[in-house]
Chains A and B, each alone.
Chain A
Amino acid sequence: MLNKKNYIAVLVMALVLILSISVMAETRVVEHAMGKTEIEGTPQRVVTLYQGASDAAHALDIPLVGIVESWVEKPVYKYLRDDLSDVKQVGLETQPNLEEISKLNPDLIIASKMRHEDIYNLLSQIAPTVMEENVFRYRETVKLMGKAAGREEKAAEVLNNWDQRAADFREKIEAKMGEKWPIEVAVLNFRADHARIYYSGYAGRILNELGFERPEDHKKDTWGVKLTSKESIPEMNAEAFFIFMSDDQAVENTYQEWTEHPLWQNLDAVQNEQVFRVDQVAWNMAGGIESAHIMLDQLYEHFELEE
């Protein structure tokens, strides 16, 4: 594995090498989870194969010709619908339709190693393909796509914009909470037959960046836990809860059952009245930079802060 320094060094070397040779069309070598890919000029027909990449493409104004179906609010998440509903659908994130992609005649494909490793070779034959390691790392997605699509400046601007908002949030919330900051929070999710605590992952990373703490028991390197018994409710304990879940009667029933439980009433967040229901798309399923902003909007609102 290359560390960041080496990564940059290799890239610089590659760039120098290429610049010294090439006189005509600008060709860039982008290093990614599956190796290196050469990309010419500024791609004009891009296909994204995971949710976070479609989101980032939108943020970077990358011209999209194909996207995969969203997990819920099918086929496109509401927050992207206005701009992306005319973009061609190329199938499920788990099995995007290769013929459909090739028919679009793209000049860049953005995919995820975790989902698409086995079709990397086929995708590369359709168009230059770059792969992010996972699907929810919004920063890495933006950086990678900035490089691949020749929009590094825009990517830096987008990330910078995010950093500034995050810094503003940290400042404001610290000022408001004073001594109590940083507070310990937990991200909870209810399903039809169980409940989950998300430790790391998309929302966890963002909350981390915003300066929130996690309870000692939640500081683990796994994605989280699935809890089936209401007896486990005390495991959830934290000073504030963010709860997301799908809009479904069965899930709503589980939520009612768990939150009506006496143990639930004993939790710190419940006693402090710091239980926030948040949007499942922005907090979990979208996994992009724009959805991170939506998360942040909701946080400003919940903590009654002025931006």
Chain B
Amino acid sequence: MTYILRNQKAKMNMLLFLTFLLITAAVFSLAVGQHFVSLTSVYRAIFSFDQQSTRHLIIRSTRLSRTVIALAAGGSLAVAGALMQALTGNPLAAPGIFGLNSGAVFLLVIAATFFGVTSMELSIWLAFFGSMLAGLLVYFIASLGRSGLSSLKMILAGAAVTALFHSFTQGLLVINQESLESVLFWLSGSTAGRDLGMIMPLLPFILGAIILALILAKDINILLIGEEMAAGLGQKTIIIKLLLGLSIVILAGSSVAAAGAISFIGLVVPHISRFFVGNNYHWLIIYSFIIGAVLLLIADIAARIIIMPQEVPIGVMTAFMGAPFFVYIVRRGFKVNA
């Protein structure tokens, strides 16, 4: 594995730079939109809020919430992707590719269109459950057969499970045509759909899952050496893997509950992070979170200014940004034990 930041200090400096980038992106996300707001106004809106100012209102009411959502969802998806890649030993693993997003979306569409579920608390649990269901299904399908789990099988199983939930969702919406038009944006990802108050209950989950991942980082590093070796070192791999799975499901489910189905962030970001810090998960998790947040913020800013006053669904933006990168990873080649 080649990566460019070899020593602790370089990694620390880069981290500072990325944090700076994150803050810049967040500030721009507050300033840019249908009405451009000067940076001083952004500063004032946050630190000396004036109820009378329209600009302050826009920032506080709509942009702040979408900035927080993009930040949280981007970071969560990226970390979920990094953890999945470790768990499966598969560089193309990601919540979108492995059907976790589509599983969560399916359950949420059923809940919203047929049972009129609007409570955020219930939606969160449904999203967790949906992504868990999809994840287990992929794992089950991929581990069938004599040759055991292989990367290619896992990806194909993921694609098949995605297709499965996708077509279920499609079927439901075709039969219930009126509700179809109501969830189209959300099906393709949207940071504008939820208020800050609605996503607040998600943040403790996300924070908890990331702390859990950081605690596990050392074990992940050992796991990456190889399972037998890990067992030899006295690691209880089953427990580690279960905890990893828990963390992944929470992160992927939360991001769907907050912003709908957003693809490719979970796949691409861990690779960018790896380019900087290699496969050391202490650093990789932190880097992934920040880079994921930065990328989704940028995608969101682009999404809202391309065709004002309308917006491109953010999942579409990330797909267009991510697909070339995906092709690049595949072409560059990686070890597939198929």
Which residues of A does B touch, CB under 8 Å?
71-72, 92, 94, 191-194, 225-232, 234-235, 246, 248-251, 253, 257, 261-263, 266
CA distance A228 to B62 in the complex (A): 11
- Is B195 part of the binding interface, using a Cβ–Cβ cutoff of 8 Å? yes
Given known contacts A228-B190, A249-B116, A250-B112, A262 and B61 CB-to-CB distance under 8 angstroms: yes
CB distance from A209 to the nearest CB of B (A): 26
* A246 x B178 contact (CB < 8 A): yes
B residues in contact with A253, CB < 8 Å: 118
Q: Is the CB of A193 within 8 A of B190?
A: yes
Given known A192-B186, A227-B310, A248-B116, contact A257–B62 (CB-CB < 8 A): no
Chain A residue numbers with a CB within 8 Å of B33 are 229, 231
Q: Which residues of A contact B8 (CB under 8 A)?
A: none
Across chains A and B, the number of contacting residue pairs, with CB separation under 8 Å, is 81
Given known A71-B177, A246-B178, A250-B118, contact A231–B183 (CB-CB < 8 A): no
A-B contact pairs, 24 of them (CB 8 A): A71-B177, A191-B181, A191-B182, A193-B183, A194-B185, A194-B190, A194-B193, A225-B309, A227-B309, A228-B310, A229-B33, A230-B62, A231-B58, A231-B304, A232-B309, A232-B310, A235-B34, A246-B178, A246-B182, A248-B116, A250-B182, A253-B118, A263-B54, A263-B57
Closest Cβ of chain A: how far from B79's Cβ, in Å? Answer: 26
Task: Tell which of A192, A230, A263 has the most Cβ of chain B within 10 Å.
Answer: A192
Which chain B residue shows the least CB distance to A70?
B178
Besides A228-B310, A231-B35, 8 other CB < 8 A contacts?
A92-B177, A192-B112, A193-B190, A228-B311, A231-B58, A248-B116, A250-B116, A262-B57
Residue of A72, A229, A232, A257 near B66 (CB, 8 A) is A229
Question: By CB atoms of chain A within 10 A, which of B34, B35, B63 has the most?
Answer: B34
Chain B window 277-315, contacts with chain A (Cβ cutoff 8 Å), 1 for yes, 0 for no: 000000000000000000000000000100001110000
Please give the distance in Å from A249's CB to the nearest CB on chain B: 5
B309 near A257 with CB under 8 A, answer no
Contact B177 A94 (CB under 8 A): yes
A251 to B184, CA, bound (A): 14
Chain A residue numbers with a CB within 8 Å of B118 are: 249-250, 253
- CB neighbours (8 Å) of B192 from chain A are 228-230
Choose from A191, A194, A231, A246 the contact partner of B34 (Cβ within 8 Å): A231
5 closest pairs, A vs B, by CB? A192-B182, A262-B57, A229-B192, A193-B186, A191-B182
Contact A229 B311 (CB under 8 A): yes
* CB proximity of A70 to chain B, nearest CB, Å: 10
Q: CA–CA, A194 to B190, complex, Å?
A: 10
Inter-subunit contact B177/A193 (CB<8 Å): no
In the assembled complex, the CB of A35 is this many whole angstroms from the nearest CB of chain B, namely 29
Please tell me if the beta carbons of A230 and B61 are within 8 angstroms of each other in the complex.
yes
Does B57 contact A193, Cβ atoms closer than 8 Å?
no
Q: Give chain B residues whose Cβ lies under 8 Å from the Cβ of A235.
A: 34, 309
Q: How far is the CA of A226 from the CA of B312 in the complex (A)?
A: 10
Least CB distance, B70 to chain A, in whole angstroms? 12
Partner of B195, one of A225, A227, A257, A262: A257
Question: Is the beta-carbon distance between B54 and A266 smaller than 8 angstroms?
Answer: yes
Q: Which residues of B contact A94 (CB under 8 A)?
A: 177
What's the minimum C-beta distance from A230 to chain B, rounded to whole angstroms? 5
CA distance A18 to B252 in the complex (A): 70
A229's closest neighbor in chain B, by CB? B192
For the complex formed, measure the closest distance between the CB of A5 and the CB atoms of chain B, giving whole angstroms.
Answer: 39
Residues of B within 8 A of A250 (CB): 112, 116, 118, 182
**A251 contacts B310, C-beta separation under 8 Å:** no
Within 8 A of A (CB), among B170-192: 177-179, 181-186, 190, 192
Complex alpha-carbon distance, A266 and B62, angstroms: 15
Chain B residue numbers with a CB within 8 Å of A92 are 177
Q: Establish whether residues B181 and A231, one from each chain, have CB atoms under 8 Å apart when the complex forms.
A: no
Nearest CB of chain B from residue A272's CB, rounded to whole Å: 19
- Whether B193 pairs with A228 at a CB distance below 8 angstroms is yes
Nearest Cβ in chain B — how far from A280, in angstroms?
10
Interface contact B62-A231, CB-CB below 8 Å: yes
Q: How far is the CA of A246 from the CA of B190 in the complex (A)?
A: 21
Asked if A193 contacts B178 (CB within 8 A), the reply is: no
Chain A residues with Cβ below 8 Å from B62 are 229-231, 261
B116–A232 touching, CB < 8 Å: no
Closest chain-B Cβ to A264's Cβ sits at a distance in Å of 10
Contact of A229 (CB < 8 Å), options: B177, B182, B304: B304
A84 to B57, CA, bound (A): 50
Contacts of A228 in B (CB 8 A): 185, 190, 192-193, 310-311
B303 nearest in chain A by CB position:
A228
Whether B193 contacts A193 by the Cβ 8 Å rule is yes
- Return B259 CB to nearest CB of chain A, in Å: 11
* A261 with B61: CB separation less than 8 A: yes
- Which residues of the other chain, A, contact B186 by a CB distance below 8 angstroms? 192-193
